[in-house]
Amino acid sequence: MEDLKTSETWRVFRIQSELVEGFEALNAIGPAVTIFGSARLLKGNKYYDAAVTVAKMLADDGFAVITGGGPGIMEGANRGAKKGKAHSIGLNIEITAEQHPNKYQDISLSFRYFFIRKLMFIKYAMAYIIFPGGFGTMDEFFEALTLAQTKKIQNFPIILYGSEYWKGLIDWMKNTLVPNGAIGREDFALFSIVDTPEEIRFLINEHYRVFGGVRPERRYNNHAKALKKK
Protein backbone atom coordinates (compact mmCIF):
# COMPACT_ATOMS: atom_id res chain seq x y z
CA MET A 1 0.00 0.00 0.00
CA GLU A 2 1.38 3.41 -0.97
CA ASP A 3 2.75 5.48 1.89
CA LEU A 4 0.32 8.36 2.48
CA LYS A 5 3.15 10.85 2.88
CA THR A 6 4.40 10.18 -0.67
CA SER A 7 0.95 10.10 -2.29
CA GLU A 8 -0.92 12.75 -4.24
CA THR A 9 -3.52 12.75 -1.48
CA TRP A 10 -0.93 13.83 1.07
CA ARG A 11 0.15 16.61 -1.28
CA VAL A 12 -3.39 18.00 -1.13
CA PHE A 13 -3.05 18.34 2.65
CA ARG A 14 0.27 20.18 2.27
CA ILE A 15 -1.31 22.56 -0.23
CA GLN A 16 -4.25 23.13 2.07
CA SER A 17 -1.99 23.88 5.04
CA GLU A 18 -0.02 26.49 3.05
CA LEU A 19 -3.26 28.16 1.95
CA VAL A 20 -4.61 28.30 5.49
CA GLU A 21 -1.32 29.62 6.90
CA GLY A 22 -1.15 32.32 4.22
CA PHE A 23 -4.75 33.42 4.65
CA GLU A 24 -4.44 33.62 8.44
CA ALA A 25 -1.15 35.53 8.37
CA LEU A 26 -2.12 38.09 5.72
CA ASN A 27 -5.83 38.64 6.23
CA ALA A 28 -5.36 41.65 8.51
CA ILE A 29 -2.45 43.48 6.88
CA GLY A 30 -4.54 46.26 5.39
CA PRO A 31 -3.82 47.97 2.06
CA ALA A 32 -0.67 46.54 0.51
CA VAL A 33 1.46 46.61 -2.61
CA THR A 34 3.71 43.87 -3.94
CA ILE A 35 7.21 44.77 -5.14
CA PHE A 36 9.08 42.39 -7.45
CA GLY A 37 12.64 42.48 -8.73
CA SER A 38 15.87 40.59 -9.16
CA ALA A 39 17.57 38.74 -6.30
CA ARG A 40 20.89 39.58 -7.99
CA LEU A 41 20.74 43.38 -7.84
CA LEU A 42 22.33 44.02 -4.47
CA LYS A 43 22.88 46.98 -2.16
CA GLY A 44 24.63 49.79 -4.00
CA ASN A 45 22.84 49.04 -7.27
CA LYS A 46 20.66 51.98 -8.32
CA TYR A 47 17.56 49.80 -8.54
CA TYR A 48 18.12 48.37 -5.05
CA ASP A 49 18.44 51.87 -3.68
CA ALA A 50 15.30 52.97 -5.51
CA ALA A 51 13.40 50.00 -4.08
CA VAL A 52 14.35 51.11 -0.56
CA THR A 53 13.09 54.62 -1.29
CA VAL A 54 9.84 53.50 -2.92
CA ALA A 55 9.00 51.07 -0.14
CA LYS A 56 9.68 53.61 2.61
CA MET A 57 7.52 56.22 0.87
CA LEU A 58 4.62 53.79 0.52
CA ALA A 59 5.03 52.48 4.07
CA ASP A 60 4.97 56.06 5.37
CA ASP A 61 1.70 56.50 3.47
CA GLY A 62 0.21 53.46 5.23
CA PHE A 63 0.70 50.71 2.65
CA ALA A 64 2.11 47.35 3.69
CA VAL A 65 4.87 46.10 1.40
CA ILE A 66 4.96 42.49 0.19
CA THR A 67 7.99 40.93 -1.53
CA GLY A 68 9.32 37.50 -2.34
CA GLY A 69 11.38 37.75 0.83
CA GLY A 70 14.79 37.10 -0.72
CA PRO A 71 17.91 39.19 -1.39
CA GLY A 72 18.42 41.93 -3.96
CA ILE A 73 15.45 44.12 -4.87
CA MET A 74 13.27 42.13 -2.47
CA GLU A 75 15.60 42.93 0.40
CA GLY A 76 15.68 46.59 -0.61
CA ALA A 77 11.89 46.80 -0.59
CA ASN A 78 11.57 45.04 2.78
CA ARG A 79 14.32 47.26 4.15
CA GLY A 80 12.51 50.40 3.03
CA ALA A 81 9.20 49.20 4.44
CA LYS A 82 10.90 48.45 7.74
CA LYS A 83 12.08 52.06 7.88
CA GLY A 84 8.53 53.24 7.27
CA LYS A 85 5.35 52.87 9.26
CA ALA A 86 3.73 49.76 7.76
CA HIS A 87 4.23 46.01 7.67
CA SER A 88 7.22 44.54 5.81
CA ILE A 89 6.17 41.14 4.48
CA GLY A 90 8.21 38.39 2.81
CA LEU A 91 6.66 35.46 0.98
CA ASN A 92 9.65 33.15 0.69
CA ILE A 93 9.92 30.10 -1.56
CA GLU A 94 11.80 26.88 -0.90
CA ILE A 95 14.28 26.57 -3.78
CA THR A 96 17.87 25.38 -3.96
CA ALA A 97 19.59 28.53 -5.19
CA GLU A 98 19.60 32.29 -4.53
CA GLN A 99 16.64 32.38 -2.17
CA HIS A 100 17.31 33.01 1.48
CA PRO A 101 15.06 35.15 3.66
CA ASN A 102 16.27 38.69 4.19
CA LYS A 103 16.31 40.12 7.71
CA TYR A 104 13.90 43.00 7.13
CA GLN A 105 10.58 41.13 7.43
CA ASP A 106 7.90 41.68 10.08
CA ILE A 107 5.84 38.84 8.65
CA SER A 108 7.76 36.00 7.02
CA LEU A 109 6.09 33.03 5.35
CA SER A 110 7.70 30.12 3.53
CA PHE A 111 6.03 28.33 0.64
CA ARG A 112 6.79 25.03 -1.04
CA TYR A 113 4.51 25.70 -4.00
CA PHE A 114 4.96 28.61 -6.39
CA PHE A 115 1.27 28.76 -7.31
CA ILE A 116 0.17 29.31 -3.69
CA ARG A 117 2.79 32.00 -3.24
CA LYS A 118 1.55 33.69 -6.42
CA LEU A 119 -2.00 33.57 -5.11
CA MET A 120 -0.91 35.40 -1.96
CA PHE A 121 0.92 38.06 -3.97
CA ILE A 122 -2.14 38.91 -6.04
CA LYS A 123 -4.83 38.37 -3.40
CA TYR A 124 -3.39 40.68 -0.78
CA ALA A 125 -1.97 43.45 -2.97
CA MET A 126 -3.82 46.32 -4.59
CA ALA A 127 -0.96 46.95 -7.06
CA TYR A 128 2.24 45.43 -8.45
CA ILE A 129 5.47 47.42 -8.68
CA ILE A 130 7.95 45.62 -10.88
CA PHE A 131 11.63 46.50 -10.74
CA PRO A 132 14.24 45.06 -13.14
CA GLY A 133 14.57 41.32 -12.79
CA GLY A 134 14.90 37.98 -14.50
CA PHE A 135 12.65 35.03 -15.27
CA GLY A 136 10.75 35.14 -11.96
CA THR A 137 10.06 38.84 -12.27
CA MET A 138 8.98 38.45 -15.91
CA ASP A 139 6.71 35.59 -14.89
CA GLU A 140 4.91 37.75 -12.32
CA PHE A 141 4.66 40.66 -14.78
CA PHE A 142 3.11 38.65 -17.58
CA GLU A 143 0.81 36.72 -15.27
CA ALA A 144 -0.53 40.00 -13.89
CA LEU A 145 -0.99 41.30 -17.45
CA THR A 146 -2.87 38.13 -18.37
CA LEU A 147 -5.20 38.47 -15.38
CA ALA A 148 -5.81 42.14 -16.17
CA GLN A 149 -6.33 41.52 -19.89
CA THR A 150 -8.87 38.77 -19.18
CA LYS A 151 -10.51 40.93 -16.49
CA LYS A 152 -9.85 38.42 -13.73
CA ILE A 153 -8.47 41.42 -11.84
CA GLN A 154 -9.67 44.97 -12.42
CA ASN A 155 -8.50 48.41 -11.34
CA PHE A 156 -5.10 46.93 -10.52
CA PRO A 157 -2.06 49.12 -11.26
CA ILE A 158 0.91 47.29 -12.77
CA ILE A 159 3.90 49.63 -12.65
CA LEU A 160 7.28 49.00 -14.27
CA TYR A 161 10.20 50.90 -12.77
CA GLY A 162 13.08 51.89 -15.04
CA SER A 163 12.21 52.70 -18.66
CA GLU A 164 15.82 52.10 -19.75
CA TYR A 165 15.66 48.49 -18.53
CA TRP A 166 12.22 47.71 -19.95
CA LYS A 167 12.54 49.55 -23.28
CA GLY A 168 13.72 46.55 -25.30
CA LEU A 169 10.89 44.33 -24.08
CA ILE A 170 8.23 46.98 -24.69
CA ASP A 171 9.61 47.71 -28.18
CA TRP A 172 9.48 43.98 -28.99
CA MET A 173 5.88 43.82 -27.81
CA LYS A 174 4.97 46.80 -29.99
CA ASN A 175 6.92 45.68 -33.05
CA THR A 176 6.25 41.94 -32.91
CA LEU A 177 3.20 41.07 -30.82
CA VAL A 178 0.95 43.88 -32.06
CA PRO A 179 1.61 43.49 -35.84
CA ASN A 180 1.02 39.75 -35.54
CA GLY A 181 -2.26 40.26 -33.75
CA ALA A 182 -1.14 38.55 -30.55
CA ILE A 183 -2.09 41.60 -28.45
CA GLY A 184 -3.82 44.89 -29.19
CA ARG A 185 -2.45 48.39 -28.80
CA GLU A 186 -5.05 48.96 -26.10
CA ASP A 187 -3.27 46.37 -23.96
CA PHE A 188 -0.46 48.84 -23.27
CA ALA A 189 -2.92 50.72 -21.08
CA LEU A 190 -2.75 47.79 -18.65
CA PHE A 191 0.58 48.97 -17.23
CA SER A 192 2.62 52.08 -16.60
CA ILE A 193 6.36 52.79 -16.88
CA VAL A 194 8.01 55.22 -14.47
CA ASP A 195 11.51 56.41 -13.63
CA THR A 196 11.18 57.99 -10.20
CA PRO A 197 9.93 56.85 -6.78
CA GLU A 198 7.72 59.94 -6.64
CA GLU A 199 5.79 58.80 -9.72
CA ILE A 200 5.06 55.47 -8.07
CA ARG A 201 3.93 57.19 -4.89
CA PHE A 202 1.57 59.41 -6.86
CA LEU A 203 0.08 56.53 -8.90
CA ILE A 204 -0.51 54.31 -5.87
CA ASN A 205 -2.02 57.05 -3.73
CA GLU A 206 -4.19 58.35 -6.56
CA HIS A 207 -5.43 54.84 -7.30
CA TYR A 208 -6.25 54.28 -3.65
CA ARG A 209 -7.99 57.66 -3.42
CA VAL A 210 -10.27 56.70 -6.30
CA PHE A 211 -10.86 53.01 -5.59
CA GLY A 212 -9.84 52.38 -1.98
CA GLY A 213 -12.28 54.40 0.06
CA VAL A 214 -10.72 54.90 3.52
CA ARG A 215 -7.35 56.65 3.59
CA PRO A 216 -4.53 54.08 3.79
CA GLU A 217 -2.93 55.27 7.03
CA ARG A 218 -6.26 55.15 8.91
CA ARG A 219 -7.08 51.71 7.58
CA TYR A 220 -3.57 50.49 8.38
CA ASN A 221 -3.82 51.67 11.98
CA ASN A 222 -7.07 49.75 12.44
CA HIS A 223 -5.47 46.57 11.08
CA ALA A 224 -2.35 47.06 13.18
CA LYS A 225 -4.50 47.21 16.30
CA ALA A 226 -6.25 44.01 15.27
CA LEU A 227 -2.92 42.25 14.75
CA LYS A 228 -1.66 43.24 18.19
CA LYS A 229 -4.69 41.65 19.82
CA LYS A 230 -3.85 38.24 18.31
Contacts of residue 99, Cβ cutoff 8 Å, sequence gap at least 6: 39, 68, 69, 70, 71, 92, 93
**Predicted TM-score of the model (pTM):** 0.87
Helix boundaries (H) for 104-152: 114-123, 135-149
Query: Is 214's pLDDT higher than 60?
Result: no
Average pLDDT over residues 138-160: 95
pLDDT of residue 10: 81
Q: Which of 47-51, 98-102, 217-221 has the highest mean pLDDT?
A: 47-51
Say which CATH number the domain at 40 has.
Answer: 3.40.50.450
Split into its structural domains, the chain has a count of 1
Query: Is 210's pLDDT higher than 70?
Result: yes
For the stretch 50-87, pLDDT in tens is 999 999 999 999 999 999 999 999 999 999 999 998 99
Domain residues for the domain of 165 are 4-228
For the stretch 154-190, pLDDT in tens is 899 999 999 999 999 999 999 999 999 999 999 999 9
